[in-house]
Structure 1
Amino acid sequence: MGYTPQEVQRNEKLSIFNGASSIIVLSLISGFIPLFAIEVLNATNSQIGLISSLPSIMMIMSMIPGAYWLSRAESKKKFTGVNIFAARFLFMLLLFVPLIPVSNPAWILVVIIALMNFPIALATLSWQSLIGDLIPDARRGQFFSERSRILTIVGMIVTFVAGVFLNLFDKSNPLPFQLLFGIGFGFGILEVYFLMRHVEHKEKQKPVQQKLFKNLTMTFKHKPYLYFLTCAMLFNFGWQMAWPLFSIYQINDVHATALWISIFTVANQLAQIASYKWWGKSADKWGNSTMLFICALGMTTAPIITIMTKNFYVLTLTNLWTGLFVSGTTLLLFNQLLRVSPGENRTAFLANYNLMIAIIGCFAPQLGVLLLEHLGMIKSMSISSVFRLIGGLSFLFLAFYFERKKGGTVGTGTLSQ
């Protein structure tokens, strides 16, 4: 049974409120975790690398049972809500880490980060499947670009305010971080509240959905999905390799304060706000894969131009530049994932995608840190750029060979089998 226009409109509105609450949590907590780890807990480069890679390990551990549990759940909405609450509760526990009398509390932070990403992975999988049901395909491009723009504005404001607040205190003082973690938990409760108000039509699960491993294997036989997955894995390898390197460079090499880190983030988000609609319209005209190649080219420049300077103002402009491509990358990857994942058994397609990207996320950040230890920051960042470029070229190959040569619809970014 489909959703009425009124129900779709209600779900879109609630999804924006839910997303805004979620982005506030992430802005208050996740955005300053590296600073908290390094300045307050004296975390090492290896521990920062683990903070980037352990979420992917937990995602791998959660995908198989998560897809099975979700396929048996009576309500995707309730399943998502329970896991979001569990994740936010673990977020709240971060405020107690500095109080634990151990010689190296950074390891406790690493463990909590790892644990919280198990329910986060489950919630992400179920939310993707749920929102794919609630928002019609014809509305997704316009809605998600607008939703992303609004959420980025909210995140930008919260990040800047939090950065100003943290800058009022000494960098090693845990109190302001603890206050942010507590406020973040409060918005996590609101996040669950808005999610549970969505209109969901419960449907009986089909027997074939219980054959989980068979369904995961069969996703590889759907050619549009397989082609996209391969390209996404190549690009994500180069993308995620540099994630811990940026934090280490900004905090250890540039010695950026919480205020400057928030300014970098705000500059990045301002560019995202300005470019979301353009990416959506361009994808409608030229296809998701073609525009993903353009995004990948922009993302390729990010590591190189970042390490060219330690000037705070130039780094702000650098983040402004890279934000133009971050918005397109996140928007188009998600839209293309939904587009190539059939409505029937969508949970299996989404689970398999998240699983494959999580496998990349396990070793890519660790490889980045390993390269940093042996080759230094310049060479390790340069290698990340090379892999990003290879991923971008794969999207170009997908666009011109598979989509156009094989008769796919370029304007919508779809592929023919």
Structure 2
Amino acid sequence: MGNYSLTEQDIKHNIRCNTLNGIYSVLALNLVTPFIGILAKNLGAETYEIAMLSSFPALISVFSMIPGGILVDIFKEKKKITGLFIFITRFFFLLLALTPQLPTPYRVSALIVIYGIMNFPGSISGVAWQSFIATAIPAERRAQAFATRNKITSICGMIITLLAGQILRIYKGSSEIKIYQLFFIIAFCFALLEVYYHLKMKEPTFQENYVSTDKNSETFINKGKQVLTYKPFILFSLCSLLFHFGWQMGWPLFTIYQIDYLGADGTWISYLSVGNGLAGFVTYPLWSKLVNKKGNNYTVILATFAIAMSPFLFAISWNLYVLLIVNFFMGTAVAGISLVLFNLLLEVVPNENRTLYIALYNTMISLSAIASPMVGAFVYETFSSIYLALITAGTFRMLGSFTFFLRYKLLTKKEQKTVYSNNFSN
């Protein structure tokens, strides 16, 4: 394997670069992601087309993650290949900026297609980054490092989104679409710095940079069998899959409720995003302390339960000011989820074939993301009730949180049996 160790200086350098990478990543994403739905609405998108902004990228992910995971696993050193796919993904921001220039009948379709195809390199870069970061920052330093990273990126994301909202308020009207185009171009510039700081990170050195596939005695089928029979991974994945089904179901419903029912414009969308970011900034350290005290398996129950409450709170939000408070609560929950689920995933995957495990997990979540937004849209369209659709999403989220609770009880029971057995044998 070669030398797989990093010095303390290297680890501190990686934590710093990872934080800077996260800052520029969130600056880029917060000029794109919050405004995709409202741009689509301004271009004339209907309910199912809004849902497609969630489902189509997930469909693309299904076809990219496992082949992408295999491709990334060919590289012993994953930093450069990860950086390449991040760059390709962010290049699509420029293509998104061009969609309003197309003939009117093709604008919404082009926006959906480009946004979806962007997820092909995006999914691969996500899998590669998760595999890379597992070696770049040791497990015992990861929770604190990412709590710090997420706290700082939350405040940066909040500032850039608030600034974007004020710009939209000033230029509201006929110039609004042009402002979105400008945002996407600026986002690409931030993304270049995101890639730069990723490439500055130190990676454990190996004797060989590439692993030839014919040197690897394991076939893909054998690797797949190992993954599908590894119980800690399967148990976690099933719990996460059920939770994500409800989580993803709410995404297009929230967009529809905010814009069509409460009258949110681009400025209000930015305020709501700021509420999320502010909550993350305030609560990331609290989530990190809870993880250190109680562990990821306990903390994920609280985080998923909080997320499960958000559709019900959305449904009783009668104006945008109330929704702003609800969004702060949602941001608190998302802060916990973003910290804990990633840590748990790295806990339940072994070092061997790590990238393949991560790719398979993300593929399952993407399969959920194909169906669940469309299910939410179907309930809404069939029963003409946004409230029923929100309650349905919340119910699935509750079921997912409950399965994490059952998992925690099962793991606790196993630990107690192990301790008892060890004490008895001694």
TM-score w.r.t. structure 2 length? 0.92
Residue 258 of structure 1 corresponds to which residue in structure 2?
A: 266
| Pairing 1:31–2:34 present | yes
Distance in 2 of aligned mates of 1:262 and 1:210: 49
Contact 2:20 2:197 in 1 (8 A): yes
Residue 49 of structure 1 corresponds to which residue in structure 2?
A: 51
Counterparts of 1:67-146 in structure 2, within 5 Å, are 67-146=69-148
Counterparts of 1:236-315 in structure 2, within 5 Å, are 236-315=244-323
The alignment covers a number of residue pairs equal to: 408
Distance in 2 of aligned mates of 1:148 and 1:86: 24
1:395 partner amino acid: F
Distance in 2 of aligned mates of 1:213 and 1:247: 41
CA deviation map 1:74-119 (0-9, x unaligned) = 5311111111111111111111111112424100000100111100
2:328 partner amino acid: L
Structure 1: state its 5+ residue gaps.
Answer: 411-417
Contact 1:164 1:258 in 2 (8 A): no
Distance in 1 of aligned mates of 2:172 and 2:106: 20
1:200 partner amino acid: E
Distance in 2 of aligned mates of 1:211 and 1:137: 29
Distance in 2 of aligned mates of 1:217 and 1:248: 42
Contact 1:71 1:210 in 2 (8 A): no
Residue 415 of structure 1 corresponds to which residue in structure 2?
A: none
| Pairing 1:324–2:339 present | no
2:289 partner amino acid: K
Counterparts of 1:165-176 in structure 2, within 5 Å, are 165-171=167-173, 173-176=176-179
Residue 194 of structure 1 corresponds to which residue in structure 2?
A: 197
Distance in 2 of aligned mates of 1:287 and 1:332: 9
**Residue number among 366, 369, 378 corresponding to 1:361 in the alignment:** 369
Q: CA deviation at 1:176?
A: 0.6
Contact 1:71 1:209 in 2 (8 A): no
Task: Tell me the secondary structure at the aligned position of residue 45 of structure 2.
Answer: coil
Task: Tell me the secondary structure at the aligned position of residue 407 of structure 1.
Answer: helix
Contact 2:162 2:274 in 1 (8 A): yes
**Residue number among 363, 366, 380 corresponding to 2:389 in the alignment:** 380
Q: CA deviation at 1:208?
A: 4.1
Distance in 2 of aligned mates of 1:286 and 1:194: 33
Q: CA deviation at 1:293?
A: 1.3
Distance in 1 of aligned mates of 2:28 and 2:327: 22
Structure 2: state its 5+ residue gaps.
Answer: 419-426
Alpha carbons of 1:171 and 1:295: their partners in 2 closer, same or farther (altered >3 Å)? farther
Distance in 1 of aligned mates of 2:198 and 2:122: 15
Aligned Cα RMSD in Å?
Answer: 1.7
Contact 2:135 2:204 in 1 (8 A): no
Distance in 2 of aligned mates of 1:383 and 1:253: 18
Task: Tell me the secondary structure at the aligned position of residue 103 of structure 1.
Answer: helix
2:248 partner amino acid: Q
| Pairing 1:10–2:13 present | yes
Contact 1:22 1:187 in 2 (8 A): yes
Distance in 1 of aligned mates of 2:417 and 2:24: 36
1:398 partner amino acid: R
Residue 400 of structure 1 corresponds to which residue in structure 2?
A: 409
1:45 partner amino acid: T
Contact 1:209 1:345 in 2 (8 A): no
**Could you tell which deviates more after superposition, 205-214 or 222-231?**
205-214
Task: Tell me the secondary structure at the aligned position of residue 317 of structure 2.
Answer: coil
CA deviation map 1:301-322 (0-9, x unaligned) = 1111112123121111111112
2:275 partner amino acid: A
Residue 235 of structure 2 corresponds to which residue in structure 1?
A: 227
Q: CA deviation at 1:171?
A: 4.4
CA deviation map 1:34-54 (0-9, x unaligned) = 111102x11111111011111
Residue 156 of structure 1 corresponds to which residue in structure 2?
A: 158
TM-score w.r.t. structure 1 length? 0.94
State the percentage of identical aligned residues: 35
Distance in 2 of aligned mates of 1:208 and 1:355: 24
Distance in 2 of aligned mates of 1:114 and 1:216: 27
Q: CA deviation at 1:197?
A: 1.1
Residue 422 of structure 2 corresponds to which residue in structure 1?
A: none
Distance in 2 of aligned mates of 1:134 and 1:296: 28
Alpha carbons of 1:102 and 1:202: their partners in 2 closer, same or farther (altered >3 Å)? farther
Contact 1:212 1:348 in 2 (8 A): no
Distance in 2 of aligned mates of 1:214 and 1:330: 32
2:394 partner amino acid: S
Residue 22 of structure 1 corresponds to which residue in structure 2?
A: 25
